[in-house]
């Protein structure tokens, strides 16, 4: 039976969100996926050392219908029953997604990891969840904020902290949730996030 990662739930960007918005988007290893996401149904071949994994996700909290986000079309993506997870070294995302989740129409969609691959690697999370989203939402993240995150998490001090961290998964922040909803947040400092935060508060 899967459960919440209590250490990850204490992170500042997660602690203020309802438990029904704890959406795993990165994991340390397959054991972490099975403990905090759900059961691995099967392996999807890609590179020999970087396959994809079809995961049957466990719903771990009741939906809080007071939150406006649950009235948004497509919000069910957060806790999709079947999810595709890949290693950061995987590359053929579209092929993997089509094979793992053939019932999802990906025409005109980008297949991408929810959280930045380079940052996840620096934080020690080599397994990432893939989703099908619009090109606008996928490409709206600012290069400035991405470079800042890479520089920050790659620093000597943050690398030391990441090595000592007890978190087994990473939960989505508001920018990740907005991306999954196909909301283009864009901009170097992502000012548009201020306009969507109300969705996640009761």
| pLDDT tens-digit map of 60-106 | 999 999 999 999 999 999 999 999 999 998 888 999 999 999 999 99
Would you say residue 111 has pLDDT above 80? yes
Determine the average pLDDT of the residues in 22-42: 97
- pLDDT above 90 covers what percent of the chain? 65
Estimate to the nearest angstrom the gap between the alpha carbon of 199 and the chain centroid.
Answer: 18
Q: Whole-angstrom Cα distance, residue 177 to residue 171? A: 10
Q: Which residue has the tokens 């005109």?
A: 108
Q: What is the mean pLDDT of the chain?
A: 89
pTM passes above 0.85: yes
Closest CA to 24 of 10, 12, 38: 38
Q: What is the pLDDT of residue 45?
A: 78
pLDDT band at 180 (very low <50, low <70, confident <90, very high): very high
DSSP 144-166: HHHHHHHHHHTSHHHHHHHHH--
Q: What is the pLDDT of residue 200?
A: 92
Would you say residue 184 has pLDDT above 80? no
Sorted by where each begins, the domain ranges of the chain are 6-200
Q: What is the pLDDT of residue 66?
A: 95
Q: What is the pLDDT of residue 47?
A: 67
pLDDT higher at 45 or 54? 54
């Amino acid at each position: 039976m899967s459960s919440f990662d209590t250490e990850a739930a204490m992170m500042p960007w997660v602690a203020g969100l309802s438990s029904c918005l704890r959406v795993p988007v990165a994991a340390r290893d397959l054991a972490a996926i099975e403990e905090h996401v759900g059961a691995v149904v099967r392996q999807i071949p890609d590179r020999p050392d970087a396959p994809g994994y079809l995961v049957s996700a466990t719903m771990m909290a009741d939906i809080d219908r007071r939150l406006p986000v649950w009235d948004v079309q497509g919000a069910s993506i957060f806790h999709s029953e079947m999810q595709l997870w890949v290693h950061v070294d995987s590359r053929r995302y579209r092929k993997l997604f089509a094979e793992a989740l053939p019932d999802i129409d990906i025409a005109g969609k980008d297949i991408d990891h929810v959280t930045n691959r380079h940052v996840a690697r620096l934080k020690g999370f080599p397994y990432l969840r893939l989703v099908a989203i619009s090109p606008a939402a996928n490409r709206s993240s600012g290069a400035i904020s991405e470079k800042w995150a890479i520089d920050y998490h790659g620093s000597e001090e943050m690398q030391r902290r990441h090595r000592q961290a007890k978190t087994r998964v990473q939960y989505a922040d508001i920018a990740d949730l907005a991306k999954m909803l196909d909301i283009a947040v864009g901009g170097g400092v992502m000012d548009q996030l201020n306009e969507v935060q109300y969705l996640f508060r009761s």
